Amino acid sequence: MRRPSFQFYPGDWQSNTNLRRCNHAEKGVWLDVMCLLHDSEEYGVLRWTLKEIAQAVGCRLVDLKALLTKGVLKGADVGASCEAFIYTPRSGRKNGDPVTLIAAQEGPVWYSSRMVRDEYVRTIRGESSRFGDGNDDASKGRQIKGNGEPPKGAPNPPFGDGSSTASASSPSGTTPVPDGTDAGASPAMPAGLDAKDAIFQVAVPWMVERGVPDKSARSLLGGAMKQFGDDGAWDLAQRLMRERPMEPAAWLAGAINKSMGKGASKHGNFSKQDYRAGVSEDGAF
């Protein structure tokens, strides 16, 4: 069953350096290409020739070539070789093992690196859901590419990545793309992770997907860990993910302040902070 929608982050769209090089016509073409990539059986990937994509979108071939030149569209046409797309997950401040999401291969193959990466992260997070049986390739976190086999040399990745390029302008509330959980369930702690790792590999990405800047999510949850310990902070994070408030940062800040009692905390009163603005490089609000 194809998903009826995909998430769109206006802040990321406006700040992406490659897209800023494109004119309005090229950006419009890219939106149409994204729709094709979304509808593809191999999510985020098309194995058509560039000419066929141009015909499907109804644009000039030169517009697609401009997207390729400017690093928006990635891949290779017939007779050319496509370089491997390797993603390095990040947990806390540490990099995980690199994962090959698109193996090096001959064209035609075209893809959006953001869509392919987000699909991989979504699949890995779904592995911890109580709805997955863990026996299929998707639940094991292996990206299937074309011939039904996972890319050669792709290691079994760690759960989550603790990072995201999602912006504060992304929509709050429910996630339009299924992520393996329902509105009444919070992700379970993955096997092999302690509470601290689960906070940064599960709770932080969950908040970021719902519009909370990465630094703000880490600051809030880090404050909870200092106040309640790792286990207490994870319990609070699970409540957050289970209740799915429209404003996750405000909900979490309010819960921390309520648990600490009225008045300002040593973190400057969480509930009065504007977490949409993020935090500075030194961690100050």
Domain ranges of the chain: 166-285
Q: Which of 148-152, 204-208, 269-273, 277-281 has the highest mean pLDDT?
A: 204-208
Q: Which amino acid is at 47?
A: R
For the cut 60, the answer to whether the pLDDT of residue 28 exceeds it is: yes
User: What torsion, rounded to 10 degrees, do the Cα atoms 258, 263, 268, 270 define?
Assistant: 20
**Higher per-residue confidence, 182 vs 233:** 233
Query: What pTM value is reported for the model?
Result: 0.48
DSSP designation for 200: I
Q: Which residues pair with 107 in a beta bridge?
A: 78
User: pLDDT tens digits for 101-126?
Assistant: 999 999 999 999 999 999 998 888 76
The first and second tokens of residue 128, run together, are 């911890």
List own/partner pairs for 25-30 with CB under 8 A and 24 or more apart: 25/63, 26/63, 26/66, 26/67, 26/70, 26/72, 29/57, 29/59, 29/63, 29/64, 29/67, 30/67, 30/72, 30/73
| Distant-in-sequence, close-in-space partners of 176: CB < 8 Å, separation ≥ 6 | 3, 4, 5, 6, 7
pLDDT tens, position by position, 193-251: 788 888 888 888 888 888 888 888 888 898 888 888 988 888 899 888 888 888 888 88
Give the model's pLDDT for residue 185.
52
At residue 180, what are phi and psi to the nearest 5 degrees?
90, 5
Query: What does the pLDDT read at residue 173?
Result: 38
**Higher confidence at residue 177 or residue 246?**
246
Mean residue pLDDT of the chain comes to 75
Q: What percent of the chain has pLDDT over 90?
A: 33
Question: What whole-number percentage of the chain has pLDDT above 70?
Answer: 67
More confident residue, 183 or 256: 256
Q: How far is CA 251 from CA 57, 221, 241, 248, 283, in A?
A: 43, 12, 11, 5, 20
pLDDT in tens, 64-78: 999 999 999 999 999
Q: Is the model's pLDDT at 262 over the cut of 70?
A: no
Output the pLDDT for position 104: 95
**pLDDT on residue 131:** 38
